[in-house]
Amino acid sequence: MAIGIFDSGLGGLTVLDAAQSRLPQMEFLYYADSANAPYGVRTPEDIQKLTERAVKNLWYRGCNLVILACNTASAVALRRMQEAGVPNGKRVLGVFVPLIETLTERKWGDNSAPREVAIKDVALFATPATVASRAFQREFAFRAIGVDVEAQACAGVVDAIENGDMILAEGLVRSHVEALKRKMPNPEAAVLGCTHYPLLADAFKKALGKSVTIICQGNLVANSLADYLDRHQDMVGDGLAGFLTTGNTQKMTEQATRFLGRPIFFEAV
Ligand code: DGL
């Protein structure tokens, strides 16, 4: 009885962890396309193709509902997948909308006209492909007016995390925050718009300073998933729970165990 959770690699574990805490009875099947990570430097065509392949694999394994716990896939590939139509009884959802709904003070499905919201200056840290897609700004503009969003494409960060080089990853965070601050010196809030980045939340906090509220997606997505499952009980599928990777199972097992602080075992897709 598993919900599918997909990411290019380790980042989706930040969403999985929050979802498991919020829904302790629920089973999850995690799929990391580590052989093809990072997605954030790939072309939109590539991201589309790889995301569709992974989602179909999770559907095939019995997951009725697949969460794209990857902003890059959500920003670049989700809309086309949904518009093309999904098989009967299957669904795919992204991580963007719960985040934007929270920032714009909306409940699920509130499609009323854009209005003023409390927040005015938002810094977005995301992968180059997410930033280039402008999906965050587009979703924001549907719901809010008068919000200034400054985006910083954080090249190299996902690669460093996937390679286990956290020193390099932290150094890159510092330089991306400096670059953002040159464009927007005093953001009110910083959105960690890549599911890998909460693994570096302390580095972001330190570089941004105490006055900036850091927004991570894990809990927002977990709450929104709980809400969704209340309304759609049939979306719990019959797949088996576990952890799958297209990459090196031992490396993923070690890294995931370290990040989540509990034993995790990855198997080959
Ligand atoms: N965790 C993915 C995201 O949220 C990382 C994408 C990548 O592989 O570059 O965007």
Q: How large is the average pLDDT for residues 215-229?
A: 95
Minimum CA distance residue for ligand 1 atom 9 = 40
Q: How far is the CA of 173 from the centre of ligand 1 (A)?
A: 15
Q: Is the pLDDT of residue 224 over 90?
A: yes
Has 63 been annotated as catalytic?
no
Q: Is the pLDDT of residue 190 over 90?
A: yes
- Residue 107 is predicted with a pLDDT of 84
Q: What is the mean pLDDT of the chain?
A: 95
Helices (H), 12-156: 13-22, 44-60, 71-76, 78-84, 96-103, 128-133, 135-143
pLDDT, tens digit (0-9, with 9 covering 90-100), for 239-248: 789 999 999 9
Q: How large is the average pLDDT for residues 161-171?
A: 97
Q: Which residue has the higher pLDDT, 110 or 176?
A: 176
In the block, tokens 């464009």 appear at 183
Cβ of 45: how many Cβ atoms within 10 Å?
10
pLDDT, tens digit (0-9, with 9 covering 90-100), for 74-84: 999 999 999 99
Q: How large is the average pLDDT for residues 153-175?
A: 97
Cis preceding-peptide flag for 187 (omega within 30 of 0): no
pLDDT band for position 233 (cuts 50, 70, 90): confident
Q: How far is the CA of 195 from the centre of ligand 1 (A)?
A: 6
Q: How large is the average pLDDT for residues 162-169?
A: 97
pLDDT, tens digit (0-9, with 9 covering 90-100), for 116-155: 999 999 999 999 999 999 999 999 999 999 999 999 999 9
Has 70 been annotated as catalytic?
yes
- Residue 109 is predicted with a pLDDT of 78
47 lines ligand 1 (CB under 6 A): no
8 lines ligand 1 (CB under 6 A): yes
- Residue 108 is predicted with a pLDDT of 79
Q: Is the pLDDT of residue 1 over 80?
A: no
- Residue 237 is predicted with a pLDDT of 67
Strand partners of residue 190: 123, 214
User: Exactly one of 63, 154, 194, 216 is catalytic; which is it?
Assistant: 194
Q: How far is the CA of 39 from the centre of ligand 1 (A)?
A: 6
Question: Dihedrals φ, ψ of 122, to 5°?
Answer: -120, 130
Share of the chain above pLDDT 70, in %: 99
